[in-house]
A and B are shown apart, each in its own frame.
Chain A
Amino acid sequence: MAAAGPSWRRRGEEGLRTRRLTPILLLLGVAALIAAPLGRTDYVIYVLSSWLTFSIAAMGLNLTLGYAGQISLAQASFMGIGAYTTALMTLAGVPWLIAAPAGVALCFVVGLALGFPALRVQGHFLAFVTLAFNTLFFLVARNEEWLTGGSYGLSNLPRPAFWAFDTARNLPFYYFTLIVFLASAALMWGVVRSPWGRAFRGLRENPIRAESLGVDTRRITLLAFAIGSAYGGLAGALISPLVQYIEPSSFAFSQSLRVLLMVVVGGAGLFLGPILGAAVVILLPEFLRFTEGYYLMIYAAAVIALMVYCPTGLIGVGRRLSDRFSPKREARADMKLGARS
């Protein structure tokens, strides 16, 4: 009886079958990403770089939200911290390879500091704390002109140059972004597959059971949040050289909601969800541009429809479609959902 048996064993069997296909698909995916910008206009390359950058931020939020089940509304402010740190340091002559990790480390520390008191209190309070933090960050960035340039922002941010490889043009910069993206995705894969990752998922699915099994819920959640925030910082560190100008409203609360949208639309708690979600949120408006003023409405209506019919996001839609065509064994009903809240 193939249908019987605990879910983890079934997943393992499924994993064995797909294990041979996965590296091939992985290679194809990477090849597609490498080939993507070739022969394209500067604008398309710029949009693709933007997509990869936001995918990194969305991946981080996915760890916090999709895997550890905590709502963070501050991802944009962590992007801001990474962006401003990188900008200020590179403007002072510090190479990007030192400035960016500094920004990332700062975000990790701030994430720990922010999460620690918030997670002591029950419920969705991390959401509120992150909401407050994001707004405060925006206000500080706008008001403290001596540090951040205030409303005028910081401009003429340099693009990094690595020995012979200068990223001043859009195409080399895309490959630079791609390398950072692949590295961070690989790292995320490692985190998710590690014992930590499994603890995150246990936490998301049933926090009380996890606690009874000895998982230190607070520490694990804090870690997930800090790592997720650090990813936001990395995305910010890429935005500074990409746009070569930063100002406070790019990192306001509404942008945090945008990243949240990417994660949920793509499929929270699923590895490729945020990448797909970022593609939708960034690229879909391009396709809809012909509808002029109406495209935001069409877009919003599509999101509502998606949430109504398939709350697990677009990857959930994909799964449903392929289930239709090749029905597999019945999975346990309570394992179907990506993220619970």
Chain B
Amino acid sequence: MNRSRFLAASALAAALSLNVAVASAADTVNIPCVCELSGAGAVAGTNFHDGAHMAIDEINAAGGILGKKIEMADMDTQTDPMTSRGLIQKAIDSGAYAIMGTIYSGSTIVNMMVAEKAGVPQFTGAEAPNITEKHNPFIFRTSSGAEKGVPALTSYFKDQLKAGKIAISWVNNDFGKGGHDVFLAQMKKAGIEVAADVPSEQGQADFSADVSKIKQSGAQAVFVYLNEEEGARFLKEARKQGLTAPLVGEVTLTGQKVIDLAGGAAEGAIAHVGLATSAPVPSIEDFVTKFKKRYGRDTDHNGIKGYIGVYAIKYATELNGKFDRKALADKLHGLTLDAAKYPNMLLTTSWDANGELSRESFITEVKDGKQVVTGTVPAN
């Protein structure tokens, strides 16, 4: 009994020796990256992180922000919301000026409360609608939320595909649910019938039941709101079962990863993409080349998010002329950064009072195994 006590006490003593990194020196600005470097979000988080670091190295090489170099500590949330909450707290304790991350909506919705309480601006890659519905003055997106992206597809379904009956295949987590709910509302407004509503599990491998149900429903087009791998599996199963209705997605369905995984089955898939690494926009093409040169691989929209997030901080801070967190947040509300004047934003970007981002976007299609931009959608 006493031995156990002793052991417990020494364990506690060891625990008390936890140290937290002291805030950085006066001639640097601290912008930590709290992102998913392991767990389910590892791919997205790593791309975001790499894009951000590339931006930081460029900025530091050019003299930093207002003469101060940026220091970015990496904190891995393991795609766990509670861990991410703790790490945001840790980042704030270390004196962060602004925070980059997280990407997963489930984590962001938890940890943004902490950043809000501490008054630290946070730049997230998350897309669930509810994040900008909380009237949090310190949260800013680096890509459009589903409530911006999905409506762009409504006219596509109604006017271009002329579909009267639609099916939706979506992943049953907060990301998928957000897109699903917005989509349903949009379809109702447009007067289009939803013939089949098919949720699936994250990580699901067998889509035979899903595709079969969609086939049976007689839908004339399908809205696919899944993550990359599930999207690829869905496309393969749809091809196998001979589902002929056009498959239209948001963000991921025409990504290179999906094309690689689905092979020929990806042909003809359509997606509305807020950030397309394949967009025939010179600034984006440059970015993709730079990234490939530095990291030796292609990136996805998460890499762009990390990159422009850091630049947004730089530009807005320089417009303020000082390092003031509240001023940074205030400046960004209602700000438009024109890509001509601020080239590293890649596209002209605006934020509203809720931190929601507005930007031109693209309709893409997979043709001959490549993502091809077939149309642009103006910022809304």
Contact = CB atoms under 8 A, between A and B. Distances in A.
A50 interface: yes
Contacts of A48: 15
Contact of B37 (A21, A32, A292, A318): A292
B90 A18 contact: no
Contact of A243 (B2, B76, B82, B93): B82
A327 interface: no
A21 B2 contact: yes
A44 B20 contact: yes
Contact of B12 (A36, A143, A271): A36
A206 B173 CA distance: 46
A152 B86 contact: no
Interface in A261-306: 267, 270-272, 275-276, 279-280, 283, 286-287, 289, 292-293, 296
Interface string A18-60: 1001100110110011001000111110111011000000000
Interface stretch (B105-113, B332-340, B352-360): B105-113
Given A152-B109, A279-B15, A247 B81 contact: yes
A152 B2 CA distance: 47
Contacts of A318: 3-4, 6-7
Contacts of B1: 15, 18, 22
A184 interface: no
B4 to A, nearest CB: 5
B124 to A, nearest CB: 15
Contacts of A289: 76
B96 to A, nearest CB: 12
Interface residues of A, number: 55
Nearest to A245: B110
Given A25-B9, A279-B15, A245 B109 contact: yes
B370 interface: no
A28 B106 contact: no
B92 A279 contact: no
A152 B174 contact: yes
Interface string B1-24: 111111111011101101010000
B172 A142 contact: yes
A275 B11 CA distance: 10
B38 interface: yes
B89 A46 contact: yes
Contacts of A28: 9
Contacts of A142: 172-173
A315 interface: yes
Contact of B76 (A40, A156, A292): A292
Interface residues of B, number: 42
Contacts of A46: 85-86, 89
Nearest to B93: A41
A155 interface: yes
A314 B4 CA distance: 9
Given A151-B174, A315-B7, A47 B86 contact: yes
B38 A276 contact: no
Given A152-B130, A243-B82, A43 B90 contact: yes
A240 to B, nearest CB: 12
B177 interface: yes
A319 interface: yes
Given A29-B12, A245-B81, A276 B7 contact: yes
A296 B8 contact: no
A26 B12 contact: no
A279 B106 contact: no
Contacts of A267: 4
Contacts of A151: 106, 172-174, 176-177
B86 A43 contact: yes
A101 interface: no
Interface string A72-86: 000000000000000
A194 interface: no
Contacts of B76: 289, 292-293
A143 B128 CA distance: 17
A15 B5 CA distance: 14
Nearest to B40: A249
B177 A150 contact: yes
Interface string B79-104: 00110011101101100000000000
A322 interface: yes
A283 B15 contact: yes
A7 interface: no
Contacts of A18: 1-2
B5 A296 contact: no
Contacts of A250: 81-82
B37 A245 contact: no
Contact of A42 (B11, B92, B173): B92
Interface in A116-164: 142-143, 150-153, 155-156
A167 to B, nearest CB: 14
A28 B9 CA distance: 8
A276 B90 contact: no
Interface of B: 1-9, 11-13, 15-16, 18, 20, 37-38, 74, 76, 78, 81-82, 85-87, 89-90, 92-93, 106, 109-110, 113, 128, 130, 134, 172-174, 176-177
Interface of A: 15, 18, 21-22, 25-26, 28-29, 32-33, 36, 40-44, 46-48, 50-51, 142-143, 150-153, 155-156, 243-245, 247, 249-250, 267, 270-272, 275-276, 279-280, 283, 286-287, 289, 292-293, 296, 314-315, 318-319, 322
26 contacts: A15-B1, A22-B1, A22-B2, A28-B9, A29-B12, A32-B13, A43-B20, A43-B93, A46-B89, A48-B15, A51-B15, A153-B109, A155-B110, A155-B134, A243-B85, A247-B81, A272-B8, A276-B7, A280-B11, A283-B18, A286-B18, A293-B38, A314-B11, A315-B4, A319-B3, A322-B3
